[in-house]
Amino acid sequence: MIFDTLKPQIELIISEDQKSVNDHLQNICVLLEKRVPHYNWVGFYFRNGKKEELVLGPYVGAPTDHTVIPFGKGICGQVAVSNKNFVVPDVSAQDNYIACSIAVKAEIVIPIFVNGENIGQIDIDSNTPDPFTQEDERFLEFVCAKVATILP
Ligand code: SME
């Protein structure tokens, strides 16, 4: 199972303490996009201080215009409010969705908690319809928990 192989590699990236937080996050994006065939855009969004908006952090994939997303808008903005994983098997069936590319068929967003507070998220787009399972959720929760340990 690919996720079992990737977990120690995530831990290795996190442990490289001579690197900046953004370097760690960028390396995680590169690893995931390269190694998981159904991950086609991988990025992090973080809460912008006390403002109710998300700002795009490191990512791999097509450039997006959506570098700032208000809370409540799109899949990402809804997760900022709900504090829950959001798995979208078919983005065309979502009313509250921000399209980045017509190639995208599905999306998964997992919140990142620091001291119990939702401070951001990992966002993954897939060009494959309905590709995400509970294995993806458990693995990405692992990634988010590791990321939480290096955030300022
Ligand atoms: N589709 C997201 C917007 C971000 S892009 O996927 C990079 C959303 O609906 O929130």
Quote the CATH superfamily of domain 2-148: GAF domain (3.30.450.40)
Q: Which whole number is the average pLDDT over 14-23?
A: 95
Examine the pLDDT at 1 and tell me if it is beyond 90: no
- Given the CA of residue 98, which atom of ligand 1 is nearest to it? 9
- Given the CA of residue 64, which atom of ligand 1 is nearest to it? 7
Domain boundary assignment for the chain: 2-148
Q: What is the DSSP letter of 62?
A: S
User: pLDDT for 35-67, tens place per residue?
Assistant: 999 999 999 999 999 999 999 999 999 999 999
Q: What CA–CA distance (Å, rounded) separates 75 from 84?
A: 11
User: pLDDT for 84-130, tens place per residue?
Assistant: 999 999 999 999 999 999 999 999 999 999 999 999 999 999 999 99
What confidence category does residue 17 fall into, taking pLDDT thresholds of 50, 70 and 90?
A: confident
Q: Which amino acid is at 42?
A: V
Q: Which whole number is the average pLDDT over 59-85?
A: 98
Find out whether the beta carbon of 122 lies less than 6 Å from any atom of ligand 1: no
Sign of torsion, CA 25 28 33 36?
Answer: negative
β-pairing verdict for 86-88 and 106-114: antiparallel
- Confidence (pLDDT) at 12: 98
Q: What CA–CA distance (Å, rounded) separates 75 from 88?
A: 8
Find out whether the beta carbon of 125 lies less than 6 Å from any atom of ligand 1: yes
Among 75, 92, 102, the mutation site with the greatest number of ligand 1 atoms within 8 A of its Cβ is: 75
- Confidence (pLDDT) at 152: 86
Q: What CA–CA distance (Å, rounded) separates 29 from 147?
A: 12
Find out whether the beta carbon of 71 lies less than 6 Å from any atom of ligand 1: no
CA 100 to ligand 1 centroid distance, Å = 6
CA 99 to ligand 1 centroid distance, Å = 6
